[in-house]
Amino acid sequence: MKKIFAGAGAAAAYLAGVPAHAAQPVEWQMTFQPPATGIMRQIAWFEHYTLWFIVPITILVLVLLAYCIVRFRASANPTPSRTSHNTLIEVIWTVGPVVVLLFIAVPSFQLLTAQYTPNEEAKLTVKATANQWNWDYEYQVDKPLSFNSAILEEGDRAGLGKQDKALYPRLLAVDHEMVVPVNTMTRVLVTAADVIHSFAMPAFGIKMDAVPGRINETWFKAEKEGLYYGQCSQLCGKDHAFMPIAIRVVSEKQYETWLAAAKTDLPGANKALMAEVDGTNKVAAAGN
């Protein structure tokens, strides 16, 4: 019990010093990441909405079970009832769930529709190809940019300037992040080169399977600058747990500068961007 309170206290202390738009995984975390897109806000709202149905129903069923166990136990009810049905009860337990399901179904269909129908055309398209156990990113722009993104090895932290484990956490940080501009509709074409993987970014509310020989499409419009982490969320082999995804959201100007430099010197472009972003904004990482 002491560990529980200690973990909760540490989480509260950490969150108190972090900007409101950023967060990391913390001990005893029970909620979603802070949303960074409109879709994720809708997902978070839908979760809270459904709890207003789930919690009362769970309590009601528990109370009914307890009542039946006590009221109709053998010692208190030695002669069991031979009642075969009760019309009123049958109507209630038929109509009640139908009404509840309708209240859940309507907003869930609206959310599903919103997830698959972006309200504007994509301004940036990035192809993400999954490999065992890393990601290839291809920016479909003039003079396309391609690079590989793999988990950050502990021995490479100093060389890449990522010694800060609070910002570049173990098992989530990568050597080269996907970089996108803030408030920009971004299309991600997802595929795989070997087995089935899955491109998941919790703070953006996206999760799309990467299937060999097939290109799936997802999209996001990040509204807050920061460094966001996700992971492959489809079991894909022995190193599945070591296949993180990192997306750095920056200003339009910072993105344009990075893109121009990355086409000739990706490590140098990343270091210049990190120096500017980490030094001026000190954005925290939005964790998985």
Residue-level pLDDT at 79: 84
Domain count within the chain: 2
The distance of Cα 52 from the centroid of its chain, to the nearest Å, equals 23
| Residue 171 φ/ψ region, left for φ over 0, alpha for ψ in the -120 to 50 degree band, beta for the rest | left
Residue-level pLDDT at 17: 38
The reply to whether 148 and 212 lie within a common domain is yes
Q: Which domain holds residue 37?
A: 26-70+89-117
The CATH number given to whatever domain includes residue 273 is 2.60.40.420
Task: Let me know if residue 97 belongs to a domain.
Answer: yes
Q: Which two tokens stand for residue 20?
A: 């409101």
Q: What is the largest CA-CA distance in the chain?
A: 86
Tell me the C-alpha distance between 79 and 75, whole Å: 9
Residue-level pLDDT at 281: 52
The reply to whether 31 and 112 lie within a common domain is yes
Q: Which two tokens stand for residue 94?
A: 């038929």
How does pLDDT run across 198-227, given as a tens digit for each residue? 999 999 999 999 999 999 999 999 999 999
The reply to whether 106 and 211 lie within a common domain is no
Task: Let me know if residue 160 belongs to a domain.
Answer: yes
The reply to whether 172 and 106 lie within a common domain is no
Cis peptide upstream of residue 258 (ω within 30 degrees of 0): no
Task: Let me know if residue 3 belongs to a domain.
Answer: no
The CATH number given to whatever domain includes residue 58 is 1.10.287.90
Residue-level pLDDT at 24: 60
Give every residue of the chain whose pLDDT is below 50, as ranges.
Answer: 1-23, 282-288
Residues 255 and 183 sit within 8 Å (Cβ to Cβ): no
pTM value is 0.81
The reply to whether 231 and 211 lie within a common domain is yes
